[in-house]
Amino acid sequence: MKRVVTLISGRGSNLQALVEARIPGAAFVGVVSNRPEAKGLAFARSVGIETAVVDHRTFETREAFEEALHATVERFNPDLVVLAGFMRVLGEEFVRYYEGRMLNIHPSLLPAFPGLNTHARALAAGCRVHGATVHFVTPEVDGGPIVIQGVVPVLPKDTAETLAARVLRVEHRIYPQAVRWFVEGRLRWRGGGGVEVVGGRVEDRVWFVPALEE
């Protein structure tokens, strides 16, 4: 079994999607949040996953926070660290320690729209498609090697809220797939930037999801 630790800051919908996917060989052994009020902690406890809180607001420096976060994550002896709505930018030392075994999901088709407010920015740019990206985490924010993307249409009457809801549904599909590949030993990061899925096709790494409700 591969031991998976998930970092969250909020409701934990991607955490729930990962757990409910029942990925063979994946043991979700811990959930860590930087916010004690994060709703995802309650879900984790309800399914028997151990939780911990490292509140960034109680530390004077980012370095002190990340040192405590690292110690907490290491208690679970993870094979894979998964960021699922973790709203803190992690420093280079932390990221380098988990190089090649830390994944993040971002609500845009990277490299387009790194950072925040991705849905409003996609609408303002006149995008016809939008989506989500699972990538390895590197010191460059939202700049790590891409593992898989999910693409959804942008509809004429979309708002940032309706588009966000559509993208979230595709996030819940592609993140379990990426973790499944890692657990199966099929996901290989070549270090310099390339990613390979052993035994897979390039086409498997882009999922097109229609807007079923409109």
Contact 8, 86 (CB under 8 A): yes
Instruction: Please confirm whether the linkage preceding 111 is cis (ω < 30° from 0).
Output: yes
- Give the amino acid at 204: D
Is 70 designated active site? no
Q: Are strands 195-197 and 187-189 parallel, antiparallel or unpaired?
A: antiparallel
Tokens representing 144 are: 């790590």
Catalytic residue among 56, 70, 106, 172: 106
Decide: 195 and 147 in contact? Cβ < 8 Å: yes
How far is 97 from 101, CA to CA, in rounded Å?
A: 9
Ramachandran sector of residue 113 (left: φ over 0; alpha: ψ -120 to 50; beta: rest): left
Bridge partner residues of 153 (DSSP): 129
Q: Which residue has the tokens 């809801």?
A: 165
Task: List residues with catalytic annotation.
Answer: 106
